[in-house]
Structure 1
Amino acid sequence: MDFYQEKITTIHDFSTDDGAVVSHLIELSKTRPAALIIPMLYKEIKSPCLAKIREELNKCEFINEVVISLAADSREEYEHVVRFFRELKLDHIVVWCNGPNVTRIVEEMKEKDLDITQFKGKGKDVWIAIGVASLNSYAIALHDADIITYSRDFPAKLLYPILNPKLNFLFNKGFYARINKEKKTMHGRVFRLFVRPFMAALQRDVKYESYVLDYISAFRYTLAGEFALTSDIALHLRFPSDWGLEIGLLAEVYRNSSLKRTCQTDLGFYDHKHKDTGENITEGLCKMVNDIVLTFLRIANETTSVHISQSFIQGLYVKYIRFAQDLIRQHHADAICNNLKYDRHVEERYVEVFSKILLKTGNSYLETPLSIQMPDWKRALSAVPDLRELLRDAALQDLETVK
């Protein structure tokens, strides 16, 4: 625990609140309504995490609406999720993002030269949910559906700096310790062993040119999927559709806001389900690293004058390995002093796997430096002014058929 402030305003958890924040949030939400988005895959319905989240959300009187953006492969799966959330006392709507009604709206968007059918995954589902959630909310919070250590404090801590008019923040990102206290293990491998050392390597090569990279690196947990923002700024952001979502989102917030209106909040200890490494760049952690590399290279290309060449990629590769090895030594010391289990050999193996992906993905980027961002909602509404209402109506049509 500390009270250190850096480039981004940090909201610490000093354990002195005694429920005052939640009480104040209930009052604030009467004039500044808040929505919560939970993107999820159908398979997450089988996890006890989701039942815990539903139970804790029933204590969150300060949330005016919950939008569940669902990817399900059949109507049976969709209806199962709808019935599951009937025990949620808050106003809520399940948006079947790949269901026939929403898909029809998305297909019709192409008539206005607005094609998002090429995008798949969490980014697209979040984009759709933001459209629905922003209709009646001042602020929107978002978190995943697989959080093991969830409590009502999560959405409360995310929303309070946005809803409190005395603070005037537009964007708040969560950070936390990825520690399993029961098993005494340290997690967050992609962040600890790839993102941190890769950012250090990238910043070393672009030197002082990229204020965006400096901004991104100022956040304590770059890959945290928990954040809150005003509905207005949400409509101005271009969301990446893949695992580069969290990093690409920060670059977009930087373009549309300022340091003074950005903060990060301590969410305490955090644990969720853990992904497998994967056999190639289409699976698991390997897929995450691939998408993250592409996002960072796009940002560097857009915001600096650095020439991304084969020699540049090779330089990143060498520096990344060195910085990652230094971090492993530091994490090892931290683990020993906290009586955590820590296998340096396994950590080194992850670095070897991630470094190969960096080299392969970087070289493929040289051949095809394509953008993977979705259009912002302001552009979408310019093309289809009632698009948000159409998507909400499509979701409501789906709900009407569930007994």
Structure 2
Amino acid sequence: MDYKQELITTIHDFSCDLELLEARLTQLSETSPTAVLIPALYDELERPALTLIRDQLKECKFVNTVVICLCAQTAEQYNKAVDFFSILPQPTFVIWENGPRVTQLLEKLRDKGLDLLSFKGKGQAVWLGLGVASLQAEAIAMHDADIITYNKTYPMKLLFPLVEKELGIAFNKAYYARLGGEPIRFHGRVVRLFVMPLLTALTDMLGYHNYLRYLGAYRYPLSGECALTNDLALNIRIPGNWGLEIGLLAEVYRNVAEKRIAQIDLGTFDHKHQPIGNSTHEGLRKMCRDILRSILRTLTEMERVVLTMDEIRTLRVKFRREAQDYTRQYFVDARFNNLEYDRHQEEVTVELFEQVITEAGQDYLNNPANIQIPDWTRALAVMPALREQLREATRRDMAEAKASMNTLGNSDASRVESNHNTPNPVIVIP
């Protein structure tokens, strides 16, 4: 049995009573409201994962509000998304993150001296979503829209440690086994083949640093599933690149006492998989590049560690050795569990990830500043009613979408009725 505890609290699933947990959380959510935030692209509405997520959320009586932050290219796409989520029983906010009303709000913010319009992608979606969710709830769970193993225990486990105030938890991160495919194999390549050996190599090079120990305590540091309190949501800077998850952990490290941080076991988990990329500017290789820059910047900021280019090269050599050791260990684990494991391909992936280190190190030395969206407290200092205005803009967008869909539905019904009332033509056979 795994009882291991680390710098942060690890919450194991020792066959917990899920029905009891759900009943308790539902009761607690009546006085400590909860929300689920999902950043999403329109394309994900057409995949089965998001339909599964929506249908599972319908059964979550312990979730008081659902916030979807959607990137849609047209009003028609946005309207379809509003209709897609309309079956949810909870109050639901579908934020059109790149729509005219939200863009106009951000333009007003820019005109007052705070420009957030240059930030795009998941970081901006999370930032906007937290603005609305923090108005609605005390505890906010966040997760991606592509989880193909989703069930209602995911938000339940993420939210419970925050809502049960006696536990004193302010941030809760998911960990799980990334298994999937046919035949079944390990996934999570960036965590297994980059982050873990990188942290081991850095610790070996630099000695003890609390931040490295903190990152090493997370069993799956790149999981996109976490929960946080609404006050923390307002006080963290959201990374604006592919280093979002690791950068978010850095913000939690800066803002939260270690005893108030937890990670929780979600079991076996799978979602869509990113390509490796043809260069260090694409796919998982770009993700590795952004992750390393984030770690180096935080080491300088919090631990006063400054690496030279020679040390970056040394890190690359040590990383390769550590990663090779990890692949051997994964091979043993996979063979025992009868999992598919291509050791050669794992080594090839390690070599591609290794090449990122020199470039990311040079990037960091040339420009140590990180790409982060200013926290909500700064935005509210510029526009105190920004969250309320964002919520109202979303309500108006959704009202227009529903009216448009109703008009379209009535038009379709009229066409059907017209066709039904049209007399059948007389066919004359010569």
For Structure 1 versus Structure 2, the TM-score category normalised by the shorter chain is over 0.9
Q: Where do 5+ consecutive residues of structure 2 fail to align?
A: 406-430
Within 2, Cα distance between the matches of 1:23 and 1:53? 20
CA drift of 1:182 comes to 5.2
CA drift of 1:355 comes to 0.8
Instruction: Give the secondary structure class of the aligned counterpart of 1:90.
Output: coil
CA drift of 1:202 comes to 2.0
Is 1:206–1:304's contact at 8 Å kept on the other side of the alignment?
no
Alignment of 1:144-293 (within 5 A): 144-180=144-180, 183-208=183-208, 210-293=209-292
Within 2, Cα distance between the matches of 1:315 and 1:391? 48
Q: Deviations over 1:144-193 (max 9, x none)?
A: 00001100000000000000022111110000000117531110001000
CA RMSD, Structure 1 to Structure 2 (Å): 1.3
Within 2, Cα distance between the matches of 1:153 and 1:109? 38
Q: Deviations over 1:3-43 (max 9, x none)?
A: 22222211111123140010011110000000110011111
1:374 pairs with 2:373: yes
Partner of 2:121: 121
Partner of 1:133: 133
Instruction: Give the secondary structure class of the aligned counterpart of 2:66.
Output: strand
Within 1, Cα distance between the matches of 2:382 and 2:224? 29
Partner of 1:12: 12
Is 1:96–1:102's contact at 8 Å kept on the other side of the alignment?
yes
1:82 pairs with 2:65: no
Amino acid at match of 2:73: D
Q: Which has the larger radius of gyration?
A: 2
Which deviates further from its counterpart, 311-320 or 278-287? 278-287
Which deviates further from its counterpart, 146-155 or 11-20? 11-20
Within 2, Cα distance between the matches of 1:83 and 1:27? 30
Within 2, Cα distance between the matches of 1:322 and 1:73? 46
Amino acid at match of 2:80: H
Q: 1:374 to 1:18 in 2, by over 3 A?
A: closer
Within 1, Cα distance between the matches of 2:207 and 2:266? 32
TM-score (ref. length: structure 1): 0.97
Instruction: Give the secondary structure class of the aligned counterpart of 1:7.
Output: coil
Is 1:36–1:65's contact at 8 Å kept on the other side of the alignment?
yes
Instruction: Give the secondary structure class of the aligned counterpart of 2:238.
Output: coil
Is 2:18–2:153's contact at 8 Å kept on the other side of the alignment?
no
Instruction: Give the secondary structure class of the aligned counterpart of 2:295.
Output: helix
| Aligned-pair identity (%) | 49
Within 1, Cα distance between the matches of 2:364 and 2:206? 17
Within 2, Cα distance between the matches of 1:400 and 1:91? 13
Instruction: Give the secondary structure class of the aligned counterpart of 2:36.
Output: strand
Q: Deviations over 1:237-274 (max 9, x none)?
A: 11111121111111111111111111110000000011
Which deviates further from its counterpart, 254-263 or 365-374? 365-374
CA drift of 1:195 comes to 0.7
Is 2:293–2:363's contact at 8 Å kept on the other side of the alignment?
no
Within 2, Cα distance between the matches of 1:74 and 1:136? 27
Q: 1:154 to 1:18 in 2, by over 3 A?
A: closer
Amino acid at match of 1:354: F
1:384 pairs with 2:383: yes
Partner of 1:310: 309
Amino acid at match of 2:352: V
Within 2, Cα distance between the matches of 1:46 and 1:10? 36
Q: Where do 5+ consecutive residues of structure 1 fail to align?
A: none
Is 1:149–1:271's contact at 8 Å kept on the other side of the alignment?
yes
Query: In the comparison of the two structures, how many residue pairs are matched?
Result: 402
TM-score (ref. length: structure 2): 0.91
Instruction: Give the secondary structure class of the aligned counterpart of 2:110.
Output: helix
Within 2, Cα distance between the matches of 1:155 and 1:179? 20
Partner of 2:329: 330
Within 1, Cα distance between the matches of 2:367 and 2:251? 22
Within 1, Cα distance between the matches of 2:296 and 2:322? 18
